[in-house]
Amino acid sequence: MKTRFERKTPKSVKAPLKRTCGALVLSLFITSSIPQLGHAEELKDLLGRVQKLADEKNFPKALDELGWVQKDLQKRHGEQLKQFFPDQVKGFTGDKVQINSTLGFSQVERNYTEGERSVSLSLTGGSSAGGLGNLAQLGKFAAMAGGDSEQEAVRIQGKTGQIEGDAESGFTLSIFLDSGSVLKVSASSGISSEEITQFAQILKLEELDKYLRG
């Protein structure tokens, strides 16, 4: 029953209102249909589904689910590596840790600044370093051979390292870990090779290497 105080919504308003509501519902539906990493399933659930699909010989779906397992493990691995990139090193302050993982290889990098000076700390490797381990061994042998006059072989916490570059362009210290991964300390111009060596001495190299060896 209508009262005399009841007001009708004009037709010119109803049409756009219906379209807006419809678009909102559709947007919510699409958003809810996309897998959200923030609500990731437990690892054991993902592994259980992989096993179930494999038992059913549904290998395409099993491989798809296995991809999600790998992403989850790579994320956890990256978070674990962050502890080896301290917030403060020799007066330099680190910014956000950057983690990139592709085809089983991972790179973790953090930039440090002290006024106008900057140092980049990066770790490149994979699961037990994979094929990269051979490159790390070659780098270690090259450093020990010392064939290039512009390169200097050093020992950092019992690890073989190699310094290259100059004061004008900046020095880079590469440390070849036993796990096969390579840790690099790259400095901007104006930072001496002695300073980046001291920078590396602060890092927990043996603990990092032990973790990467598994």
pLDDT, residue 21, reads: 44
Domains of the chain by residue range? 41-77, 85-213
Q: Which residue has the tokens 């807006």?
A: 20
Q: Which residue has the tokens 């809810």?
A: 32
pLDDT, residue 71, reads: 85
pLDDT, residue 186, reads: 96
CB atoms within 10 A of CB 67: 12
pLDDT, residue 171, reads: 96
| Three-class secondary structure of residue 12 per DSSP | helix
pLDDT, residue 73, reads: 86
| pTM (whole model) above 0.75 | no
pLDDT, residue 100, reads: 86
pLDDT, residue 134, reads: 54
Query: Rounded to the nearest 10 degrees, what angle do helices 43-55 and 59-81 cross at?
Result: 160
Is 112:94 a contact under the CB 8 Å cutoff? yes
pLDDT, residue 177, reads: 93
Q: Which CATH class is domain 85-213?
A: alpha beta
pLDDT, residue 41, reads: 63
pLDDT along the chain (214 residues), means of 10: 47 45 41 39 86 94 91 87 95 94 78 96 71 53 58 93 92 94 94 95 95 89
- What percent helix, strand, coil does the chain show, rounded to 5? 45, 25, 25
